[in-house]
Amino acid sequence: MKQILVVGAGSVGGFFGAHLAKNNPNVSLLLRPRTCDAVNRNGLTIRSAGGSFTVRPRVASDPQELPKPDLIILGVKAYDLDHVMDQLEPVLTGDTVILTLQNGIDTEDRILARLHRDCVVGGVAYIYSKIAAPGVIDHYKKGAIAIGELMGMESERVLKIREMFSSAGIPCQLSKDIRRAKWEKMCWNCVFNPMTVLIDDRVAKALDHAEMMGVIRQIVGEVAAVAATLKVPLPADMADRVVKASQEIRDIHTSMYDDWKAGRPTEIEYLNGFVVEQGRKLGIPTPVNEALTVMIKTITEKERVGPGTIRIEGAVVQPVSFDRAAIATLPEEHQVDVSTVMPGMQGRGIRLKGLLDVPALSIEADHIAVHSSDGKYSACLTLQQAKEYGVLVYELDGGALPDTKGGPFRLVTPGLGDLCANVKNVARVEITRGPGRDTRQTTCPPGPSQS
């Protein structure tokens, strides 16, 4: 295993990759373009309480620009696996070994299903570190790994990998049951990763509330029930072990917490979400893990904006966005048969009153300006006119209103006379105090033209 390729320079890949590259010129890193540029300029830096150092390994964003690897160490998030494997497949040989260091359970099986050969060594990383900046990793605690063959034997390749890590000063334990080791870490991850997000605090905040112990036992109990059904029995006192192992890292946030705060995606689908998915397949109830999965998604996923959404903002207490599905769930009393306002078209619209009743409008708000997505067109109406006459068309023939018809959202104001407004491709409704921007002519043009 001469040529080593570390994929990713995040909190896991960056730490282990830098240590391996310290005294090994055959270590290279596959990085995202932004991180690759930073490492090319400044090197890869690890900052630890015990000392800091910088290495300058060979890096690229295309694996074909790097030496063909004998060993690939995956240090990326579980949700990036498919994209990374697409990149790596052209440089794989029949002898390439892949070591996985992802959270979750199914990385190894996903790779094996894709490549159809015995090329995977399972791994578990035990480390607390953070990305300080592209190419800069702050390391706080631990920094060890466990590795093992999925079938449990002590092979020549795992012995070589252990020696490689040990020579780099990284504690590396051989596990005869790496799947069980992954499930044991899964128990901890399924408890504290989502919990630190929900309480917006450190591990200690959860540990210091006795009422949490029952919840922790329920989470771990569900994980253990799924693991056992998949023929990976866990210790009966697994929940107590999870709590005990957490006492020495009480001060930390978790990787999920850090990802959330940094605006990055989380691995919830590969942790609690995986337990829920397997539970459904196996007929095992996982209600607590399901609740955690849904709540984390709700908290961490960014508000959807852009094409296919309309946003009400301006003089409101809190802006709010709608997509077509959300509009369709508003009260039936506000829904409109489009054929009654646009003859010859079969579809649905929503009275502006139904939309404007959702956000709390600021005191003294009295106008709205409806803006097209390109910002070129807008129509201003009084709040009373908007609520009485405004209709937002959002559906045609059971599907989204197409762009060719002014979609995905189009404002019409039947019955408003010479002051009528017709704005295509609506993306934003601005609530104002006093009149807002209006690009209309003094009278409404005939037919369905853009105003």
pLDDT in tens, 306-323: 778 999 999 999 999 999
* Three-class SS state of 119: coil
Q: What's the pLDDT score for residue 441?
A: 67
Who has greater pLDDT, 64 or 50?
A: 64
User: Per the omega criterion (within 30 degrees of 0), is the bond before 287 cis?
Assistant: no
| Cβ pair 207, 246 in contact under 8 A | yes
Residue 445 — pLDDT band, cuts 50, 70, 90? very low
Quick one: the chain helix, strand, coil %, rounded to 5? 40, 25, 35
Domains of the chain, each with CATH number or no CATH: 4-176 (3.40.50.720), 182-300 (1.10.1040.10), 309-432 (3.90.420.10)
Q: Span 101-108, mean pLDDT? A: 94
- Percent residues over pLDDT 70 in the chain: 97
Token readout for 321 is 């966005």
Say which DSSP state 386 is in.
H
Whose CA is closest to 139, among 4, 7, 252, 21? 252
pLDDT of 274 above 90: yes
pLDDT of 104 above 80: yes
Q: Please provide the DSSP assignment of 285-303 as one string.
A: --HHHHHHHHHHHHHHSPP
Q: Span 144-158, mean pLDDT? A: 95
Q: Span 354-374, mean pLDDT? A: 94
| Cβ pair 5, 28 in contact under 8 A | yes
Regarding pTM above 0.85, the answer is: no
Token readout for 433 is 């105090």
406-425 confidence digits (pLDDT tens) = 999 999 999 888 788 899 99
pLDDT of 386 above 90: yes
Judging by DSSP bridges, how do beta strands 399-400 and 391-396 pair with one another? Answer: antiparallel
Q: How far apart are CA 278 and CA 257, in angstroms?
A: 24
Mean pLDDT of the chain: 92
Q: What's the pLDDT score for residue 343?
A: 82
247-257 confidence digits (pLDDT tens) = 988 888 999 99
425-435 confidence digits (pLDDT tens) = 999 999 999 99
Q: How far apart are CA 8 and CA 3, in angstroms?
A: 16
Residue for token pair 């399924």? 190
Q: What's the pLDDT score for residue 49?
A: 84
Residue 113 — pLDDT band, cuts 50, 70, 90? very high
| Cβ pair 127, 101 in contact under 8 A | no
pLDDT of 301 above 90: no
Q: Span 266-281, mean pLDDT? A: 97
The β-bridge partners of 367 are 382, 432
